[in-house]
Amino acid sequence: MKLDLLAIAAHPDDVELTCGGTVIRTAERGYKAGILDLTQGEMGTRGTPETRLKEAARAAKIMGVQHRENLGLPDAHLVVSEEYKLAVARKIRELRPHTVILPYWEGRHPDHYTASQLAYEGCFLAGLRQLKLEGDAFRPFKLIYATAYDRSVRPTFVVDITKQFERRKRAILAYTSQFRPRARERGGKVHIPLDELEERMHLIARFYGQLAGVKYAEPFLVREVMQVEDVVGLPVRSI
Protein backbone atom coordinates (compact mmCIF):
# COMPACT_ATOMS: atom_id res chain seq x y z
CA MET A 1 0.00 0.00 0.00
CA LYS A 2 1.16 3.53 -0.76
CA LEU A 3 -0.50 6.18 1.40
CA ASP A 4 -0.57 9.88 0.69
CA LEU A 5 -1.02 10.72 4.38
CA LEU A 6 -0.35 8.75 7.56
CA ALA A 7 -1.23 10.14 10.99
CA ILE A 8 0.71 8.54 13.85
CA ALA A 9 -0.41 8.97 17.47
CA ALA A 10 0.10 7.43 20.89
CA HIS A 11 -3.50 6.47 21.67
CA PRO A 12 -6.75 5.71 19.87
CA ASP A 13 -8.66 9.04 19.65
CA ASP A 14 -5.52 11.24 19.63
CA VAL A 15 -5.70 11.59 15.85
CA GLU A 16 -9.40 12.44 15.94
CA LEU A 17 -8.84 15.09 18.60
CA THR A 18 -5.74 16.78 17.14
CA CYS A 19 -5.92 16.38 13.37
CA GLY A 20 -9.11 14.47 12.58
CA GLY A 21 -10.54 17.23 10.43
CA THR A 22 -7.37 17.37 8.35
CA VAL A 23 -7.42 13.60 7.85
CA ILE A 24 -11.06 13.80 6.77
CA ARG A 25 -10.35 16.67 4.39
CA THR A 26 -7.43 14.77 2.89
CA ALA A 27 -9.59 11.69 2.28
CA GLU A 28 -12.36 13.83 0.79
CA ARG A 29 -9.88 15.23 -1.72
CA GLY A 30 -9.26 11.72 -3.03
CA TYR A 31 -5.99 11.00 -1.27
CA LYS A 32 -5.26 7.73 0.50
CA ALA A 33 -5.13 8.46 4.23
CA GLY A 34 -4.25 6.14 7.09
CA ILE A 35 -3.79 6.10 10.86
CA LEU A 36 -1.24 4.24 12.98
CA ASP A 37 -2.07 4.11 16.70
CA LEU A 38 0.95 3.07 18.75
CA THR A 39 -0.91 1.78 21.84
CA GLN A 40 -4.38 0.52 22.68
CA GLY A 41 -4.83 3.03 25.49
CA GLU A 42 -5.15 0.20 27.98
CA MET A 43 -4.02 2.32 30.92
CA GLY A 44 -6.84 4.81 30.46
CA THR A 45 -9.44 5.30 33.17
CA ARG A 46 -12.31 4.28 30.90
CA GLY A 47 -12.91 1.54 28.39
CA THR A 48 -11.02 -1.65 27.58
CA PRO A 49 -8.49 -2.27 24.81
CA GLU A 50 -11.09 -4.33 22.96
CA THR A 51 -13.68 -1.57 23.23
CA ARG A 52 -11.26 1.11 22.11
CA LEU A 53 -10.18 -0.93 19.08
CA LYS A 54 -13.82 -1.22 18.00
CA GLU A 55 -14.34 2.50 18.57
CA ALA A 56 -11.20 3.29 16.56
CA ALA A 57 -12.48 1.20 13.65
CA ARG A 58 -15.84 3.00 13.82
CA ALA A 59 -14.12 6.40 13.85
CA ALA A 60 -11.91 5.41 10.91
CA LYS A 61 -14.99 4.54 8.89
CA ILE A 62 -16.53 7.91 9.68
CA MET A 63 -13.35 9.68 8.61
CA GLY A 64 -13.06 7.69 5.39
CA VAL A 65 -9.49 6.52 5.90
CA GLN A 66 -8.09 3.72 3.74
CA HIS A 67 -6.11 2.01 6.49
CA ARG A 68 -5.91 1.94 10.28
CA GLU A 69 -3.99 -0.35 12.59
CA ASN A 70 -2.62 -0.53 16.11
CA LEU A 71 0.96 -1.49 16.92
CA GLY A 72 0.01 -2.68 20.41
CA LEU A 73 2.93 -1.02 22.18
CA PRO A 74 2.51 -0.58 25.96
CA ASP A 75 0.36 2.39 26.98
CA ALA A 76 2.03 4.73 29.51
CA HIS A 77 5.28 2.85 28.95
CA LEU A 78 6.36 4.09 25.54
CA VAL A 79 10.13 4.42 25.23
CA VAL A 80 12.41 5.25 22.32
CA SER A 81 13.89 1.77 22.04
CA GLU A 82 15.39 -0.04 19.08
CA GLU A 83 12.54 -2.55 19.13
CA TYR A 84 9.83 0.09 18.99
CA LYS A 85 11.63 2.22 16.40
CA LEU A 86 11.97 -0.79 14.11
CA ALA A 87 8.27 -1.60 14.61
CA VAL A 88 7.42 1.87 13.28
CA ALA A 89 10.02 1.61 10.51
CA ARG A 90 8.45 -1.62 9.25
CA LYS A 91 5.09 0.11 8.93
CA ILE A 92 6.63 3.07 7.14
CA ARG A 93 8.21 0.72 4.60
CA GLU A 94 4.95 -1.15 4.23
CA LEU A 95 2.60 1.85 3.96
CA ARG A 96 5.04 4.22 2.18
CA PRO A 97 3.34 7.48 3.18
CA HIS A 98 4.26 10.70 1.38
CA THR A 99 3.29 12.90 4.35
CA VAL A 100 3.26 11.90 8.01
CA ILE A 101 1.52 13.75 10.84
CA LEU A 102 3.29 13.31 14.18
CA PRO A 103 2.38 14.45 17.69
CA TYR A 104 4.11 17.64 18.80
CA TRP A 105 7.43 16.89 20.53
CA GLU A 106 6.50 18.47 23.86
CA GLY A 107 3.46 17.99 26.09
CA ARG A 108 1.91 16.99 29.40
CA HIS A 109 1.48 13.31 28.62
CA PRO A 110 4.80 11.40 28.34
CA ASP A 111 3.34 9.09 25.68
CA HIS A 112 2.62 12.04 23.38
CA TYR A 113 6.13 13.48 23.24
CA THR A 114 7.69 10.02 23.32
CA ALA A 115 5.50 8.97 20.39
CA SER A 116 6.76 12.00 18.48
CA GLN A 117 10.43 11.08 18.85
CA LEU A 118 9.78 7.37 18.43
CA ALA A 119 7.84 7.90 15.18
CA TYR A 120 10.39 10.40 13.84
CA GLU A 121 13.26 7.99 14.38
CA GLY A 122 11.22 5.14 12.90
CA CYS A 123 10.61 7.25 9.77
CA PHE A 124 14.34 7.96 9.54
CA LEU A 125 15.43 4.35 10.01
CA ALA A 126 12.96 3.17 7.37
CA GLY A 127 15.05 4.99 4.75
CA LEU A 128 18.36 3.29 5.53
CA ARG A 129 19.15 0.87 2.70
CA GLN A 130 21.67 -1.09 4.76
CA LEU A 131 19.23 -1.65 7.62
CA LYS A 132 18.33 -5.33 7.88
CA LEU A 133 14.57 -4.92 7.95
CA GLU A 134 11.71 -6.26 5.87
CA GLY A 135 10.69 -4.19 2.86
CA ASP A 136 12.43 -1.73 0.57
CA ALA A 137 14.02 1.36 2.06
CA PHE A 138 11.60 4.29 2.13
CA ARG A 139 11.44 7.64 3.88
CA PRO A 140 8.43 10.02 3.95
CA PHE A 141 8.82 13.28 2.06
CA LYS A 142 7.13 15.52 4.64
CA LEU A 143 6.73 15.41 8.41
CA ILE A 144 4.26 17.79 10.07
CA TYR A 145 3.46 18.08 13.76
CA ALA A 146 -0.05 18.42 15.21
CA THR A 147 0.11 21.05 17.97
CA ALA A 148 -3.53 21.24 19.08
CA TYR A 149 -2.74 19.88 22.56
CA ASP A 150 -0.41 22.84 23.23
CA ARG A 151 -1.75 26.33 22.55
CA SER A 152 1.53 27.92 23.67
CA VAL A 153 3.00 26.86 20.32
CA ARG A 154 2.65 29.23 17.37
CA PRO A 155 1.78 26.99 14.39
CA THR A 156 3.46 27.25 11.02
CA PHE A 157 0.09 26.89 9.33
CA VAL A 158 -3.49 25.84 9.97
CA VAL A 159 -5.91 23.74 7.93
CA ASP A 160 -9.46 24.98 7.48
CA ILE A 161 -11.72 22.16 8.71
CA THR A 162 -14.99 24.11 8.78
CA LYS A 163 -16.68 21.76 6.29
CA GLN A 164 -15.25 18.72 8.05
CA PHE A 165 -16.01 19.82 11.60
CA GLU A 166 -19.25 17.86 12.06
CA ARG A 167 -17.67 14.66 10.74
CA ARG A 168 -14.71 15.21 13.04
CA LYS A 169 -17.12 15.58 15.95
CA ARG A 170 -18.87 12.34 15.00
CA ALA A 171 -15.51 10.57 14.79
CA ILE A 172 -14.53 11.81 18.26
CA LEU A 173 -17.86 10.77 19.74
CA ALA A 174 -17.41 7.29 18.23
CA TYR A 175 -15.29 6.77 21.35
CA THR A 176 -18.36 6.30 23.48
CA SER A 177 -16.39 4.80 26.36
CA GLN A 178 -14.31 7.97 26.62
CA PHE A 179 -16.71 10.82 25.88
CA ARG A 180 -20.20 9.43 26.46
CA PRO A 181 -19.69 7.01 29.34
CA ARG A 182 -22.52 5.56 31.38
CA ALA A 183 -22.98 6.93 34.88
CA ARG A 184 -21.31 3.97 36.53
CA GLU A 185 -18.30 4.34 34.21
CA ARG A 186 -17.92 8.02 35.05
CA GLY A 187 -17.07 7.13 38.62
CA GLY A 188 -19.85 9.14 40.26
CA LYS A 189 -18.69 12.67 41.08
CA VAL A 190 -15.04 12.03 40.28
CA HIS A 191 -13.81 14.53 37.69
CA ILE A 192 -11.15 13.60 35.15
CA PRO A 193 -9.75 15.66 32.26
CA LEU A 194 -11.64 13.51 29.73
CA ASP A 195 -14.88 15.11 30.88
CA GLU A 196 -13.85 18.39 29.28
CA LEU A 197 -11.47 17.23 26.55
CA GLU A 198 -13.93 16.95 23.67
CA GLU A 199 -15.36 20.42 24.27
CA ARG A 200 -11.89 21.89 24.79
CA MET A 201 -10.65 20.52 21.47
CA HIS A 202 -13.65 22.03 19.68
CA LEU A 203 -12.87 25.39 21.31
CA ILE A 204 -9.26 25.11 20.18
CA ALA A 205 -10.40 24.47 16.60
CA ARG A 206 -12.61 27.55 16.86
CA PHE A 207 -9.71 29.59 18.27
CA TYR A 208 -7.38 28.76 15.38
CA GLY A 209 -10.21 29.20 12.92
CA GLN A 210 -10.76 32.76 14.13
CA LEU A 211 -7.05 33.51 13.79
CA ALA A 212 -7.17 32.34 10.17
CA GLY A 213 -10.47 34.00 9.28
CA VAL A 214 -12.47 30.75 9.06
CA LYS A 215 -14.80 29.03 11.53
CA TYR A 216 -12.70 25.99 12.52
CA ALA A 217 -9.07 25.07 11.89
CA GLU A 218 -6.38 22.67 13.09
CA PRO A 219 -2.81 23.88 13.78
CA PHE A 220 0.42 22.33 12.56
CA LEU A 221 4.14 22.99 12.87
CA VAL A 222 7.06 22.09 10.62
CA ARG A 223 10.76 22.34 11.45
CA GLU A 224 11.91 23.37 7.99
CA VAL A 225 11.25 26.55 5.98
CA MET A 226 7.99 26.52 4.03
CA GLN A 227 8.10 27.44 0.32
CA VAL A 228 5.30 29.46 -1.26
CA GLU A 229 4.68 29.44 -5.02
CA ASP A 230 2.19 32.29 -5.27
CA VAL A 231 2.49 35.21 -2.86
CA VAL A 232 -0.48 36.94 -4.50
CA GLY A 233 -2.71 33.97 -3.73
CA LEU A 234 -1.83 33.68 -0.04
CA PRO A 235 -4.90 33.28 2.20
CA VAL A 236 -5.59 35.05 5.54
CA ARG A 237 -5.80 38.84 5.60
CA SER A 238 -2.92 40.74 7.21
CA ILE A 239 -4.68 44.05 8.04
Classified by CATH at the fold level, domain 5-221 comes out as Rossmann fold (3.40.50)
Q: pTM for this structure?
A: 0.92
> Please, which residues bridge with residue 217 across strands?
160
pLDDT value of residue 109: 85
Give the number of C-alpha atoms closer than 13 A to the C-alpha of residue 123, restricted to the C-beta side: 23
Provide the residue ranges of all domains of the chain, joining segments of one domain with +: 5-221
Across the chain, the runs of DSSP E, i.e. the strands, are: 5-9, 33-39, 67-73, 99-103, 142-146, 157-160, 217-221
Chain centroid, CA 218 distance in Å:
11
d(CA 122, CA 8): 11
How far CA 173 is from CA of 20, 60, 167, 197, 215, in Å, comes to 12, 12, 10, 11, 20
> Please, which residues bridge with residue 64 across strands?
none
Read off the pLDDT of residues 99-138 as tens digits, 9 standing for 90 and up.
999 999 988 888 899 999 999 999 999 999 999 999 999 9
Residue-level pLDDT, tens digit, the chain, 239 residues: 899 999 999 999 999 999 999 999 999 999 999 999 999 888 776 778 899 999 999 999 999 999 999 999 998 899 999 999 999 999 999 999 999 999 999 888 888 999 999 999 999 999 999 999 999 999 999 999 999 998 899 999 999 999 999 999 999 999 988 887 765 555 555 555 667 888 889 999 999 999 999 999 999 999 999 999 999 999 999 98
